[in-house]
């Protein structure tokens, strides 16, 4: 039996005692790992130790898959009706809502996300997503197709089976639920591998899954290293689907493992280096405010962050100083401080990576407009950073940094802006700032991206599909389209016998 972590928080934004099991969640129970391996968790806001949690290895992945397969074959995938699945997801949403403060506090403690932001957006998004797919559980219909006078066919959307879900540390619960909800709604059994850095909200969710009454094994949580637990899940012969959110490099590895094992289906939501194009006719003050959100939400640890800022020459000299001043004014702080716009990076490793990119930008000849330094305080904080005069081949312009670093580039014409924006191996989102409807429609149509946002940063909604093109991945999360990612389409052909006996 695994231990339970308890922690009391007293702050201006949250006061209470948090309680979370620290084991793996397999077959409806919290258990220690097969090897008793553990990993320490730390608070990125100050580097302090939080607790130890069980660390999954290959044997634990096998046990979780066994549990999920039993649930799929004996209960969840066969004996629980679609309306009943919807009711269970709705009940889970209610339980999350009742614990909204605890979930937000765990995100602040474990992931460095600001408590008020997590409560006011992240956990509300989780609740909305669960309720959205609860409503879809009994509405993902097939078709009836007349093929001849004496024949017809119908199609069925059937669950795939055991689905492995691998999510990163930047938005631990949101990104997990984006895949968990449609997978469970369509009757699949789930093995979730959260990041070994930020598993606490996934473990809290597991306790509520059990309280809601889901059959044991329908949902499992196995936190572990990607190179061990992630690879074991991706290569497992009885896992029929992997949904992965993370880096492009790891996405390639998952595709390779899926192909070498059982040709399991794969959905990938990968990296991004998203452009934000600001035209001369944009509302400058509004554009600056939205660009800052798009760059520095979660301190830039956001796959859809708009970190390539292309500004038309007519407003460049007006907008850039405003952008620099606004970046310098962003209030930074820990997860439980009030009036905070950005927090820490997740770890020392990520801090070193971001500072390395900043030094590379300086070395490439780019002009540092603001920031560029680590803050003199505990935790993993980097000042919001902007570069100008960036060479086209500079790594800070072409590679995903996953930190609070943006580049500003001047352009002349609409066609030039599109050429620069599309000169990227990525294609997750694009942002356009203009007051011309015609221009907005032209440019968004030609942007090579899975999503485009006009006069706003990348604010995602459970009702709208989301995913990338090029090396930002394939498949779609959210919206009705996500249901197809977790089902197989079966066609049934019927011949009507005229003289059939009753």
Say how far apart CA 297 and CA 458 lie, in whole Å: 10
Which residues, 6 or more positions from 252, have their beta carbon under 8 angstroms from its beta carbon?
A: none
Give me the residues paired with residue 474 across strands.
Answer: 268
DSSP secondary structure code for residue 118 in this structure: I
Q: Does 498 qualify as catalytic in the annotation? A: no
DSSP secondary structure code for residue 341 in this structure: S
Q: Are 159 and 486 in contact (CB under 8 A)?
A: yes
Give me the residues paired with residue 145 across strands.
Answer: 153
Q: Which of 69, 269, 337, 485 is catalytic?
A: 269
Say how far apart CA 367 and CA 260 lie, in whole Å: 46
State the sign of the Cα–Cα–Cα–Cα dihedral 283, 284, 285, 290. Answer: positive
Retrieve residue 348's tokens.
């020392």
Radius of gyration of the chain (CA): 24
Q: Are 433 and 413 in contact (CB under 8 A)?
A: no
- Cα separation values, 207 from 23, 95, 99, Å: 11, 10, 11
- Cα separation values, 421 from 101, 310, 429, Å: 40, 8, 11
C-alpha triplet 122, 229, 1: angle, nearest 5°: 80
Three-state SS annotation for 30-46: EECCCCCCEEEEECCCC
Torsions phi, psi of 145, nearest 5? -130, 120
- Cα separation values, 95 from 208, 211, 312, 318, Å: 7, 8, 49, 49
276: part of which helix (H) or strand (E)? strand 275-278
Catalytic residues: 269
């Amino acid at each position: 039996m695994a231990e339970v972590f308890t922690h009391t928080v007293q702050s201006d934004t949250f006061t209470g005692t948090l309680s979370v099991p620290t084991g793996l969640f397999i077959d409806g129970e919290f258990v220690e790992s097969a090897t008793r391996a553990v990993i320490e968790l730390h608070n990125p806001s100050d580097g302090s130790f939080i607790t130890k949690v069980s660390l999954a290895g290959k044997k634990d992945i096998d046990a979780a898959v066994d549990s999920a397969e039993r649930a799929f074959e004996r209960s969840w995938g066969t004996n629980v009706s679609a309306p009943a699945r919807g009711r269970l997801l709705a009940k889970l949403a209610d339980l999350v809502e009742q614990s909204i403060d605890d979930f937000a506090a765990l995100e602040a403690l474990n992931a460095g996300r600001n408590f008020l932001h997590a409560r006011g957006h992240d956990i509300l998004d989780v609740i909305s997503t669960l309720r959205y797919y609860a409503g879809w559980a009994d509405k993902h219909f097939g078709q009836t197709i007349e093929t001849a006078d004496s024949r017809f066919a119908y199609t069925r959307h059937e669950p795939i089976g055991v689905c492995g879900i691998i999510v990163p540390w930047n938005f631990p619960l949101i990104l997990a639920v984006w895949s968990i909800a449609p997978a469970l709604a369509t009757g699949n059994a789930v093995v979730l591998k959260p990041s070994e850095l930020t598993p606490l909200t996934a473990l809290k969710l597991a306790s509520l899954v059990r309280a809601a009454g889901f059959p044991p094994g329908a949902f499992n949580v196995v936190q572990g290293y990607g190179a061990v637990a992630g690879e074991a899940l991706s290569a497992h012969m009885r896992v029929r689907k992997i949904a992965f959110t993370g880096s492009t490099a790891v996405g390639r590895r998952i595709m390779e493992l899926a192909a070498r094992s059982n040709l399991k289906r794969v959905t990938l939501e990968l990296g991004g280096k998203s452009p934000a194009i600001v035209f001369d006719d944009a509302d400058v003050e509004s554009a600056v405010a939205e660009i800052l959100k798009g760059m520095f939400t979660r301190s830039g640890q956001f796959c859809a962050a708009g970190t390539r800022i292309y500004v038309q020459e007519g407003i460049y000299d007006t907008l850039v100083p405003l952008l620099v001043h606004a970046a310098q004014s962003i209030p930074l702080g820990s997860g439980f401080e009030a009036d905070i716009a950005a927090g820490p990076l997740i770890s020392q490793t990520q801090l070193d990576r971001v500072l390395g990119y900043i030094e590379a930008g300086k070395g490439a000849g780019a002009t540092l407009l603001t920031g560029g330094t680590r803050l003199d305080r505990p935790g993993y904080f980097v000042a919001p950073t902007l570069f100008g005069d960036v060479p086209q081949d500079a790594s800070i312009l072409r590679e995903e940094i996953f930190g609070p670093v943006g580049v500003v580039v001047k352009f002349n014409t609409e066609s030039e802006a599109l050429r620069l924006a599309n000169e990227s191996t990525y294609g997750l989102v694009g942002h356009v700032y203009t007051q011309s409807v015609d221009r907005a429609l032209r440019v968004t149509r030609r942007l090579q991206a899975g999503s485009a946002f006009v006069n706003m940063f990348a604010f995602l909604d459970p009702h709208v599909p989301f995913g990338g093109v090029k090396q930002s991945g394939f498949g779609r999360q959210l919206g009705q389209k996500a249901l197809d990612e977790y089902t197989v389409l079966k066609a049934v052909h019927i011949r009507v016998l005229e003289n059939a006996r009753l």
